[in-house]
Amino acid sequence: MKILLTNDDGVMAPGIGALARAVAAWIDRCPAGEERQAIVVAPDRNFSGMSAAIGDVFDTKSVSYKRHRITGAESIATYGLDAPPALCAILGSLGTFDLQPDLIISGINAGANVGRSVLHSGTVGAILSAAQLGLSGLAVSVQWGEDVHYDLAAQLAIEVLDELFRAPSRTLLNLNVPNVTREHLRGVRRGRISTAEVVMMAGPRAGGEPLSDEGELPLVLGAASPEVGDVSDEDEGDDGALLVAGYASLTPIVGPHENTDSALDGVIHTALGVITRHLEN
């Protein structure tokens, strides 16, 4: 079992430190006859909100890196890259650092990734990118607060590993953990991705004023922000509502793929016909 660890908060962020220490302890408990290895390949700084962006790789011929050490996980080789999470995931998945991983874990993110934040999350974007190369993955996030309990999220992540290794390739799970101690965690449930927004704009038009040629557009965070806001309009099984209720939320997700819904056949057929007629004229 070979694991690639990454995140979007930076290689020296406390979340990935807690995760690396938990994985190091998991490696130390390796049963006789079983191989366990891990490597950290993560951004050298904060790349939050980057989704699956890889940057302008067309003009950049190389990616700089630097070796790091994570306290309590010195046995795990750790590299910080001048690259966003998705590119770190791709390079790590390709075995660039002399370890060909079977699985990727991304996190532990400082702040929940629920609702529509799943689309924009660099934490989630990393596992979506690795899945394109055949890896299964787990994105781990913990609800934000003054004192973030990363260790609980790390423990829950480790408990998911065996099942992920047995699952079909490209299986992706999004784990969100409330910011509580273990004794206050009410349990873990399957969560549905809610429709909670990340950003709501309260610009000049909100007050009836026309937009000027230039200016500032104030932003207001919605319920899918790291602390998780008002979830009163969510169903009890939605990911944000579960966190607020004190449950960890585990959600299977999928990456981009062709939409094979037969209901779209007519749309595609018509569009192809219009384009073809245009080309023939």
Domain extent, residue 130, equals: 2-192+232-253
Residue 214 resides in a domain: no
Antiparallel, parallel or unpaired: β 37-43 and 77-81: parallel
Return the H-helix or E-strand segment holding 187: strand 187-190
Lowest mean pLDDT among 12-16, 33-37, 221-225, 254-258: 221-225
Q: Kindly tell me if the per-residue pLDDT of 204 is higher than 60.
A: no
The percent of residues above 70 in pLDDT, for the chain, comes to 97
The percent of residues above 90 in pLDDT, for the chain, comes to 77
As given in the structure block, the two tokens for residue 76 are 């795990």
pLDDT by residue (tens digit) across 151-190?
999 999 999 999 999 999 999 999 999 999 999 999 999 9
Other CB atoms closer than 10 Å to residue 185's CB: what's the count? 17
Tell me, what CATH number does 73's domain have? Answer: 3.40.1210.10
Residue 197 resides in a domain: no
The pLDDT value given to residue 208: 64
> Does the predicted TM-score (pTM) go above 0.85?
yes
The pLDDT value given to residue 250: 97
Residue 207 resides in a domain: no
Residue 269 resides in a domain: no
Residue 273 resides in a domain: no
Return the H-helix or E-strand segment holding 127: helix 122-131
C-alpha–C-alpha distance, residues 151 and 19, integer Å: 8
Residue 116 resides in a domain: yes
As given in the structure block, the two tokens for residue 70 are 């994570």
Residue 104 resides in a domain: yes
In angstroms, the Cα distances linking 205 to 46, 128, 197, 201, 215 are 32, 36, 19, 10, 12
Total structural domains in the chain? 1
Residue 26 resides in a domain: yes
More confident residue, 201 or 18: 18
